Chains A and B, each alone.
Chain A
Amino acid sequence: DQQVKQNSPSLSVQEGRISILNCDYTNSMFDYFLWYKKYPAEGPTFLISISSIKDKNEDGRFTVFLNKSAKHLSLHIVPSQPGDSAVYFCAARRSNTGKLIFGQGTTLQVKP
Chain B
Amino acid sequence: GAGVSQTPSNKVTEKGKYVELRCDPISGHTALYWYRQSLGQGPEFLIYFQGTGAADDSGLPNDRFFAVRPEGSVSTLKIQRTERGDSAVYLCASSLGRGANYNEQFFGPGTRLTVL
Chain B associates with chain A: yes
Interface residues, chain A, with chain B CB atoms under 8 Å away: 4, 6, 32, 34, 41-46, 49, 89, 91, 93, 96-105
Contact partner of A100 (CB less than 8 A), chosen from B55, B105, B108, B109, is: B105
Inter-chain residue pair count (beta carbon < 8 A): 69
A34 touches B103 (CB 8 A): yes
- B73-89 Cβ-contact flags toward A at 8 Å (1 or 0): 00000000000000000
Answer whether A44 and B107 are a contact pair too, CB < 8 Å, given A93-B102, A97-B56, A99-B58. yes
For B112, the closest partner residue in chain A by CB is A41
Tell me whether chain A's interface is mostly helix, strand or loop, or mixed. Answer: loop
Considering only residues 12-65 of chain B, those with a C-beta below 8 Å from chain A are 31, 33, 35, 40-45, 48, 50, 55-56, 58-59
A98 touches B110 (CB 8 A): no
Instruction: Please name all residues of chain A whose beta carbon is closer than 8 Å to the beta carbon of B105 when the two chains form the complex.
Output: 46, 98, 100
A43 touches B109 (CB 8 A): yes
Q: With A and B bound together, what is the CA distance between A46 and B33 in angstroms?
A: 14
Contact partner of A43 (CB less than 8 A), chosen from B59, B95, B99, B108, is: B108
Chosen A-B contacts, 20 in total, with CB atoms closer than 8 Å, are A6-B42, A43-B106, A44-B91, A46-B104, A46-B105, A46-B106, A49-B103, A96-B99, A97-B55, A98-B33, A98-B48, A99-B48, A99-B56, A99-B59, A100-B33, A100-B45, A100-B105, A102-B42, A104-B41, A105-B42
